[in-house]
Structure 1
Amino acid sequence: MKAIVTVIGKDKVGITAAVCSLLAQHNINILDITQTVLQDYFTMVMLVDTAACAESIGDMSDILDRAGKEQGLSIRIQREDIFNAMHRI
């Protein structure tokens, strides 16, 4: 299953590395990634494949939320179909 991961927070060294490492630990493959810094805020959006991940999307949401709080970031994961439905005009 494909999902969208979003990361937002104050810019600092190592955000991309930390998030990508965490995803790799759970066998989540990054298919596409975009990131930018808006003034002092880091933003990243990733399209990922969770097919090899042993955890449910709900469990991964909790894992990413906890990791984000530890780093002062907002890290969210959402199934691609739900993300698309929410952002359809």
Structure 2
Amino acid sequence: MEKAIITVVGKDQVGIIAKVCTYLADSHINILDISQTILQGYFNMMMIVDASHAGEEFSTLADQLEKLGNEIGVNIKFQHEDIFNKMHRI
């Protein structure tokens, strides 16, 4: 299993979850866990996903998700689970 962490942050608007999840489904990326919240009009979502069946290279997926984020006005980051854990350990 190739786990990755996806974070999505930006001003809340209709369709953020739908667009991100549609991209993931089309890319054969399975959502293992998801958490989202809206604080004072700002949307924040974190997902743990399995990208082992994706048809694209990891870096291509990260670039495409970043581009999708730019199109819908949010910041989307796609990171390997190991890298995310090393960046966020105490």
TM-score by length of 2: 0.96
Q: Determine whether 1:25 maps to 2:26.
A: yes
Q: CA deviation at 1:26?
A: 0.3
Question: Where does the alignment leave 5 or more consecutive residues of structure 2 unmatched?
Answer: none
Q: Determine whether 1:41 maps to 2:42.
A: yes
Three-state SS of the structure 2 residue aligned to 1:9 is strand
TM-score by length of 1: 0.97
Aligned residues between the structures: 89
Three-state SS of the structure 1 residue aligned to 2:36 is strand
Q: Determine whether 1:70 maps to 2:43.
A: no
Matches of 1:80 and 1:56, distance apart in 2: 15
Three-state SS of the structure 2 residue aligned to 1:88 is coil
* Consecutive aligned runs of 4 or more in structure 1 exceeding 6 Å deviation: none
Matches of 2:41 and 2:34, distance apart in 1: 20
Q: CA deviation at 1:14?
A: 1.1
1:57 is aligned to 58
Identity of aligned residues (%): 55
Question: Where does the alignment leave 5 or more consecutive residues of structure 1 unmatched?
Answer: none
